[in-house]
Amino acid sequence: MKLTTKFTLLVTGCTFLLLGSYYFMSIHSASNAFLKFNQQTVVLTSQGLLNDALVSKALTKQSPTLSINEKFTQLSNEFPNQQFMLVNKRQKALSSVHDLNNDISYIPVDNGYQFKIEQADTEPLIVQFNQGQMDFVVDDTLYELFWFPRSMFKQKQAENRLLTRLADEFMLSLLVLSLIAAGLSWLGAWYFLRPLKQLKMSFLDIEHGKLDTRISVQRKDEVGEILSSFNNLASWLQGLHQQYKQMNSDLSHELRTPLHAIGSRIEAMEDGLIPMDSEQLQILARELKSINRLIDDLSLLSITESNQLSLQYANADVTQMLKTLVERYTLRAKQAGIELNSKISPNITATIDEQRVRQIVINLIDNAFKYGASGKEININLQEHDTYLAIEISDNGQGMNAEQQSAVFERFYRIQQSRSDNNSLGLGLPICMHLAQLMNSEISLVTSQGEGASFTLKLSTTS
């Protein structure tokens, strides 16, 4: 499963878990709170309702000589569980009679009557009446009398407590879920960053020269691909390090041998042990030529590996080029007792860098003479295909095993690893490989131990 899929599923799962938990916890808390609140409200309201007949009877019993204030006070004292309000119907205003415990104000509305009752430390209570509950006249003034149970104040307080409780429970739920989310986030970060931390430590090991460092890969997502790439990189660096150590050793030997021979021969000439004639000078020239060849090969390999070699493409007669090379090697094959065969298709031309293609073919033919001479047969073939030309150089010599085949294109690698092998520097095939790659072509090898080797240069004929 890809890392993006894992991360998406993790975030989605955590989100659904948190939101779902918060939703169900909120629903549970609110349901319990509202159920309890409604039960209390029903009890308070049912117990506090006052019948109109009782109020009418109380007013009738009062002395007609009492003032409006006295009537209101006496009525409030007789029904202490009720909150009474008196409105001058003509003036549409609250009577000057007021309650010492509450601050009551009349709010004019288009339909009905509305009152605002405020108590200390409590949210204002708004009471709406569609019509007056009872009319009565005092001193030729018509009043509207309204009342409601004082238990509604308790109901309002209970409502405030309910809201406070819900707010506290929701806040607690949010805090708990936030802690759970933080924990899940930490676990997710730990899960995703653990291999990256391991990767960091492995890079530090590589930096300190531990090139054999590897990471166990058990994941199949993008992180697993990164860890696998690190292992590949570490293997490549380790191989490169070994290769350069071997290269330095080989270079030291390849340069030391001819230089030592030149120095020894010059000292012998100076001491009069050997004559300073043309034969000795030719020997010195051959040694210098060997050094120059090594330097030229290293220079060419360097610029081909860095893609800095400039190719000179032109239309060339590939058939004629190979026929010329066959003629060039015919005498050498005859002297070595080797049968040189060729099967070259006629009239094949292509846009190539003829100099570099010839250089590759010469290297492959020289390689066949060096390591395939025991088979007494070398074949040079040319065939044209739809998108490429195939130049095959094969022999029936000693061939190569799997280990040799995998290393044959590495610099300074020689089939015969003895340093006494002066016939090869181990640079020819690496140069051929890089030249072919620069020309968008390839070199393939088919070989097995004791059955010879076949190198095929596939020259691309497409742009």
Is 98 or 178 the better-scoring residue by pLDDT? 178
pLDDT digits (tens, 9 = 90+) for 297-321: 777 777 776 677 788 889 999 999 9
CATH of domain 222-305: 1.10.287.130
Asked if 447 and 399 count as a contact pair (C-beta separation under 8 A), the reply is yes
Q: What is the pLDDT of residue 339?
A: 92
Q: How confident is the model at residue 41 (pLDDT cuts 50, 70, 90)?
A: very low
Lowest pLDDT segment from 243-257, 281-295, 385-399: 243-257
CA 118 to chain centre: 62
Taking the CB of residue 318, how many other CB atoms lie within 10 A of it? 24
Kindly tell me if the per-residue pLDDT of 38 is higher than 60.
no
Q: Report the run of H or E that residue 266 belongs to, with start and end.
A: helix 222-270
Task: Kindly give the pairing relationship between strand 339-344 and strand 377-384.
Answer: parallel
Q: What is the mean pLDDT of residues 388-414?
A: 85
Q: How confident is the model at residue 456 (pLDDT cuts 50, 70, 90)?
A: very high
Percent of the chain at pLDDT exceeding 70: 81
Write down the mean pLDDT value for the chain: 79
Quick one: CA torsion of 119, 122, 123, 129, rounded to 10 degrees?
-50
Rounded Cα gap, residues 128 and 4, in angstroms:
59
What sign results for the dihedral spanned by CA atoms 19, 20, 21, 25?
A: positive
Angle at 34 between CA 31 and CA 37, to 5 degrees: 150
Is 308 or 449 the better-scoring residue by pLDDT? 449
Residue type, 8: T
> CA-CA distances (angstroms) from residue 62 to 57, 121, 135, 151, 288?
9, 36, 15, 26, 143
Q: What is the pLDDT of residue 92?
A: 72
Kindly tell me if the per-residue pLDDT of 11 is higher than 70.
no
Q: How confident is the model at residue 419 (pLDDT cuts 50, 70, 90)?
A: very low
pLDDT digits (tens, 9 = 90+) for 147-194: 888 777 777 777 777 777 777 777 777 777 777 777 777 777 777 777
In the three-class reduction of DSSP (H, G, I as helix; E, B as strand; rest coil), residue 142 is classed as strand
Q: What is the mean pLDDT of residues 62-78?
A: 84
Kindly tell me if the per-residue pLDDT of 40 is higher than 50.
no
Rounded Cα gap, residues 299 and 439, in angstroms:
18
Query: Which residue is listed with tokens 């000439």?
Result: 269
Rounded Cα gap, residues 54 and 389, in angstroms:
119
Q: How confident is the model at residue 2 (pLDDT cuts 50, 70, 90)?
A: low
Strand ranges (DSSP E) for 328-373?
339-344, 349-352
Rounded Cα gap, residues 461 and 441, in angstroms:
9
Which residue(s) pair with 315 in the sheet? Answer: 351
Residue 269's φ and ψ, nearest 5 degrees, are -65, -45
Kindly tell me if the per-residue pLDDT of 404 is higher than 80.
yes
Rounded Cα gap, residues 223 and 378, in angstroms:
50
DSSP string, 158-198: HHHHHHHHHHHHHHHHHHHHHHHHHHHHHHHHHHHHHHHHH
Q: What is the pLDDT of residue 418?
A: 41
Give the CATH superfamily of 314-460.
Histidine kinase-like ATPase, C-terminal domain (3.30.565.10)
Is 26 or 83 the better-scoring residue by pLDDT? 83
Angle at 289 between CA 277 and CA 305, to 5 degrees: 175
Structure tokens at 426: 């181990």
pLDDT digits (tens, 9 = 90+) for 202-224: 889 888 888 888 888 887 777 78
Is 8 or 308 the better-scoring residue by pLDDT? 308
For the ranges 83-87, 188-192, 243-247, 315-319, the maximum mean pLDDT occurs at 315-319
Q: Which residues of 55-86 are buried (b: 16+ CB within 10 A; e: fewer)?
A: beeebeeeeeeeebeebbeebeeebeebbbbb
